[in-house]
Amino acid sequence: MNIFLLFGMGLFALVFLCLYRAVFGPGVLNRIAAISAIGTKTLVILLLMGFIYNRVEMFVDISMVYALLNFIGTITAAKYLEMKGEL
Amino acid sequence: MISISDDIITRTVSRVLVPFIQIYALYVIMHGHHSPGGGFQGGVILGASFILYLITHGLEDAKERMSELKAGLLSSFGLLIYSGIGLLCIIKGSNYLDYGGLSTLLNVIPAQARSLGILGIEIGVGIAVMAVMFSVFFDISTGGILPEDEEDLEVNNR
């Protein structure tokens, strides 16, 4: 079995553990951190898919955009909470 | 209203990161033929860089870099590039957005004219999408009411 496929499936299982924290997690901050962690794992899964299909140079571009939008989304959620005064 | 962030880490990281995000957006726009991306995706990344600057540096600073007036003008300008290239093809005697007709105008072979034409279209789409993305975020975050408008409203209500 392809080792990249194996690692990808392992990360895919870990995403669901983060999803549990995002759905049931107490408080908003746990949810934001869980969503951010899911985004990071998705980024690595995208790169592993690039290795499986032998087209890494394409998937690097996509994963960089994913990381960027994940970063901006987390900052925006934190800023929203700061403006609402819930922290 | 979004004010400047108190945290020095957020401000510094975003200030360092914004130029690199914009360079990457230009790469996505220009390299759209060979890799994933194109005008729309590059425009979204370019708009995201301005949104990041607005979030971390506040409305007052961001308005000097990109105001609502500039966003409106740029979105119209991008659409003008798109439709202008399309109409230029009609004037040269081919269909709308059929870039092969531009070969006599650009003085190159039709295949090269198609490549240059689609690049021009992507630049136009990128500018329009960037301006519209920023404009949508600007309007939602301010609720459509700017601080100077609030002062005008108070004066009128007296």
CA distance B103 to chain A (A): 31
Could you say which residues from 71 to 100 on chain B have a Cβ atom under 8 Å away from some Cβ of chain A? none
pLDDT given for residue A15 in this prediction: 94
Return mean pLDDT, chain B: 86
Evaluate if residue B49 carries a pLDDT over 60: yes
pLDDT given for residue B154 in this prediction: 66
Band (pLDDT 50/70/90 cuts) for residue A55 is: confident
Nearest to B48 among A57, A68, A79 (CB): A68
At B76-93, the pLDDT tens digits run: 999 999 999 999 889 888
Evaluate if residue B117 carries a pLDDT over 80: yes
pLDDT given for residue B103 in this prediction: 83
Band (pLDDT 50/70/90 cuts) for residue A35 is: very high
Return mean pLDDT, chain A: 90
Nearest to B52 among A64, A72, A83 (CB): A72
Band (pLDDT 50/70/90 cuts) for residue B127 is: very high
A-to-B residue pairs, Cβ atoms closer than 8 angstroms = 33
Looking at per-residue pLDDT, the higher value among B59 and B146 belongs to B59
Q: What are phi and psi of B106, to 5 degrees?
A: -85, -10
Residue of A nearest to B53 (CA): A72
pTM to 2 decimal places? 0.85
Evaluate if residue B95 carries a pLDDT over 60: yes
pLDDT given for residue A7 in this prediction: 93
Question: Tokens standing for B110?
Answer: 């039709």
Evaluate if residue B44 carries a pLDDT over 90: yes
Q: What percent of chain B has pLDDT over 70?
A: 92
pLDDT given for residue B124 in this prediction: 94
Cβ contact, residue pair B14, A68, below 8 Å: no
